[in-house]
């Protein structure tokens, strides 16, 4: 699979960050500095800096029981629900839902993504209209703490990153209580069944069932 064809970078306020990258994961170490640079350049009539290096767009709803640590940008019409924990270095797109007891750190969430219940998203990128079911974990650190290597068929891609979660393509759904291993890449328009373990590269336009039974699906 072409792992650089699964995201529409026009569906995020962070588009510029992706332009000079060979692989999507190369943006991960750059998120913190980029947020500060972008935040300070935003239209102050539209985006409000509600705390140091925390900017929100228009019609953003933030529950008082959520926690947001900067730097962080939350774009228009997004809802941050009770118990959500944005742990810093996070870009949330337009019309997103970040839900109860969801923790996100050093990640980019594209427009219309939903992460609504009991999720962990670390060092990851979630594409346009992607969705995580309740309890989905995007694990970002190997047990032996070694650098992440992406295995795409016979190709091995050295990331030089000790922490990398997942890159989830546009319009992809991951079912409840699934665990996605560090360095995984999931294509666009793919559905993952609940209680599934995912590792490596999963293609686009697929249905992935228990025991990694994979069938093709029609394009959406």
74, 132 Cβ separation under 8 angstroms? no
Question: What is the spatial order of strands in the sheet that 72-74 belongs to?
Answer: 48-51, 54-56, 72-74, 90-92, 107-109, 125-126, 166-168, 184-186, 201-202
Catalytic residue check, 117: yes
Report how far residue 4's alpha carbon sits from residue 23's, in angstroms, rounded to the nearest whole number: 6
Of 104, 101, 106, the residue nearest 82 (C-alpha): 101
197, 177 Cβ separation under 8 angstroms? no
Using the 8-state DSSP alphabet, how is residue 27 labeled? G
Report how far residue 5's alpha carbon sits from residue 167's, in angstroms, rounded to the nearest whole number: 11
Reduce the DSSP state of residue 37 to 3 states and report it.
Answer: helix
- The catalytic residue among 117, 129, 163, 188 is 117
Place of tokens 């590269």: 201
**Other Cβ atoms within 10 Å of 186 Cβ, number:** 30
What are the phi and psi torsion angles at 35 (to 5°)?
-60, -45
Residues carrying an active site annotation: 117
């Amino acid at each position: 699979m072409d792992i650089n064809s699964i995201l529409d970078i026009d569906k995020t306020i962070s588009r510029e960050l992706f332009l000079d990258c060979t692989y999507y994961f190369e943006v991960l170490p750059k998120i913190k500095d980029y947020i500060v640079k972008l935040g300070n350049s935003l239209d102050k009539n539209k985006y409000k800096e509600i705390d140091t290096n925390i900017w929100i767009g228009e019609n953003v709803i933030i529950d008082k029981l959520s926690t947001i640590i900067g730097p962080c940008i939350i774009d228009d019409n997004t809802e941050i629900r009770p118990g959500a924990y944005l742990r810093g270095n996070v870009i949330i797109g337009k019309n997103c839902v970040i839900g109860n007891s969801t923790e996100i750190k050093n990640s980019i969430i594209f427009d219309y993504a939903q992460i609504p219940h009991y999720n962990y998203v670390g060092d990851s990128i979630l594409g346009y209209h992607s969705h995580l079911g309740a309890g989905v974990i995007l694990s970002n650190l190997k047990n032996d703490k070694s650098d992440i290597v992406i295995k795409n068929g016979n190709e091995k891609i050295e990331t030089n990153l000790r922490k990398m979660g997942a890159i989830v393509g546009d319009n992809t759904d991951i079912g409840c209580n699934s665990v996605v291993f560090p360095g995984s890449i999931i294509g666009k328009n793919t559905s993952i069944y609940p209680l599934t373990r995912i590792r490596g590269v999963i293609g686009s336009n697929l249905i992935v069932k228990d025991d990694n039974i994979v069938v093709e699906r029609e394009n959406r």
